[in-house]
Amino acid sequence: MKHRLILAALLASTTLTGCGLLVVGGAAATTAVVATDRRTTGEQVEDKTIVMKAGAETRRLLENKEGRINTTSYAGVALLTGDVPTQADKEEAARLVSKVDKVTRVVNELRVGEPTPLSVRSNDSWITTRVSTALLNAKDVPSRTISTTTERGVVYLLGRVTHEEGERAAIAASSVPGVNKVAKLFEYVSAESLAQPLSTNNQPSNTSGTAAPATEPAPASSVEVMPVQ
């Protein structure tokens, strides 16, 4: 019985080694994620909590309405994508999410209009998968610390990277068929800061210069967009 338990543990360890970035709002984080993600363990947990709480707020907002709001969070930066019926709904969604604990910035990329067709959303999911693979295969790109989401062919990249890493990641993402634009929502850090031990008391500073207070959601224009060549 003891040998079986050891074997099971080894198999579990082997499986987890191939895991990528934490999927906030989904399954629990794994040890492998903590080891490769540039966020602290605390930040990863906070991001998952942000997605859960933001989801609860936006679902209440859209109750009895046609629409969908997806929240992606990385180190307290909450990205909103999806469709809402009115401009008022878009603004209210940003306000509600900005009040969620630990949210430091809201990037409101919600679209006002009819819901996106299922076929388009399915294609977006496929694009996200292909972009994730492209990042994994790209040289000198920290793919495991980059979160990717796609909305109507626009790929959003979030993560803690150097400027050089961010450029390489954007180029890799833009090479994927079906990608219309790449929006970079990176937190830029120096290579020197990455060489320092990561701890809950030693947070890398945001050097992108685009952060906005949570009570004043950042406008869509704050998104750095690189058109696909």
pLDDT in tens, 115-157: 999 999 999 999 999 999 999 999 999 999 999 999 999 999 9
pLDDT confidence band for 36 (50 / 70 / 90): confident
pLDDT at 194: 87
| C-alpha distances in Å from residue 3, one per residue of 6, 15, 53, 95 | 5, 18, 42, 54
Alpha carbons within 13 A on the beta-carbon side of 65: 19
Give Cα 193 to chain centroid, integer Å: 21
pLDDT at 54: 99
pLDDT at 225: 76
Q: Average pLDDT of 148-174?
A: 97
Q: Average pLDDT of 8-37?
A: 39
pLDDT at 203: 52
pLDDT confidence band for 227 (50 / 70 / 90): low
Kindly tell me if the per-residue pLDDT of 3 is higher than 60. no
pLDDT at 229: 56
Kindly tell me if the per-residue pLDDT of 7 is higher than 50. no
Report which of residues 35 and 81 the model is more confident about: 81
Distance CA 130, CA 120 (A): 15
Q: Average pLDDT of 64-72?
A: 97
